[in-house]
Every structure is written in structure tokens, then in C-alpha cells.
Amino acid sequence: MTLQQLGDQETELCLKTIELANQPQTQETRNTLEEICIEYKKIHQVYADLSFIEIEALKRGLFIQWYALSTAYWLSGIAELNNESKNKVLNTLYQYIDLKKFDKELIWMLNYYYTEWRWVFESWETFGGFDIAIVNDQNNELPHIIDREAMKLRGQMGRYWNSLNVFNKP
């Protein structure tokens, strides 16, 4: 499965989740939400498997892990994730930092997640802290503008970044 296909699948699941959140809660809606959560778990596993090969997969996998803990599952469609996959994403992140394979976008995303939601990282079993050259006040500034059209193709992560009003609208 390609990153584009995964992003499309995420967008579809996200829209279904929003639709469910606006309906009365029934056994049917709970079952559908459970199926969505299972699909998200599978998507996260694929991102984890691709994370060392594709920095984009790492970014999306990391986002899903962070979002699973920072947002209610009935709003995100993301519930419990596979521990092995979560550890793989975090270990890959450490490797990217050690090998200096990161880019500016990963740095500002990571700083945002960590500064705003530090407890999410600290709750992960394999969290060992971050290199202070990466996660620090100097790097804790979002860019002034993002490519909103490109973000639309990046699954729920892109939807999230597009939802923030801190970026200038092109």
C-alpha cells in the first residue's frame, strides 16, 4: 500500500468518524467506531513498518501515536495501538535524530507535540527523552505558512495541521 493510499484511507476513516460523532450512540454506531479503530491500528502498523524507509511514514505514525493519546477516540477514530508498532516508530525517530536524517518539518512537528503534550511522550514505555538540539525553545516555533493543498493528501495528520489557525492562509 502506498502512502497516498494510506492517506486516502485515513481521510475516509476520519470522515466516517465525524459522521458517527454526530449521530445518536447505538450499538451499531459503537460497532462501526470499533471497526474504524481496528483499521487505524492496521494503518499505524504499516506506517511503523515503513518508518525507517520513508520519513513521511514516520511523521504520520508519530502523529497517530500522539493523537491517540491527546484526542478522544470517538473524535479521532484512533484508539489503542499495537505496542510493537508504537515502539518501532519511537525507535525509528531516535535513529533519525542520531543519524541526522530529520528535516525541518519533523523538528517543528515534534516540538509542537512535545511542548504541548509532553505527558504523551512520557507515557510511552520506550521514551528515553530527546536530543536537546532537536527539542528546545529555539525549535519550538511553527512555520508561518504550510502547503494546505499538500497537507490534504497526508491523512488525518494533514487534516489536523490544516485545522490550526496559526498558519497564514495563502
In terms of Cβ atoms closer than 10 Å to its own Cβ (0-12, 13-18, 19+), residue 9 is middle
Question: What per-residue confidence (pLDDT) applies to 43?
Answer: 98
Tell me, what DSSP letter sits at residue 127? -
Closest CA to 50 of 36, 60, 65: 60
Rounded to whole angstroms, how far apart are CA atoms 169 and 147?
9
Amino acid code (one letter) for 50: L
Query: What does the pLDDT profile of the chain (170 residues) look like in tens digits?
Result: 899 999 999 999 999 999 999 999 999 999 999 999 999 999 999 999 999 999 999 999 999 999 998 899 999 999 999 999 999 998 899 899 888 888 999 999 988 888 777 777 777 666 666 666 677 766 778 888 899 999 999 999 999 999 988 776 55
Question: What per-residue confidence (pLDDT) applies to 65?
Answer: 93
Enumerate the domain spans of the chain.
Answer: 3-163
What pTM, to 2 d.p., does this model score? Answer: 0.90
Question: What per-residue confidence (pLDDT) applies to 169?
Answer: 58
Question: What per-residue confidence (pLDDT) applies to 97?
Answer: 86
Q: Which cell numbers hold the place of 156? A: 488525518
Question: What per-residue confidence (pLDDT) applies to 170?
Answer: 54
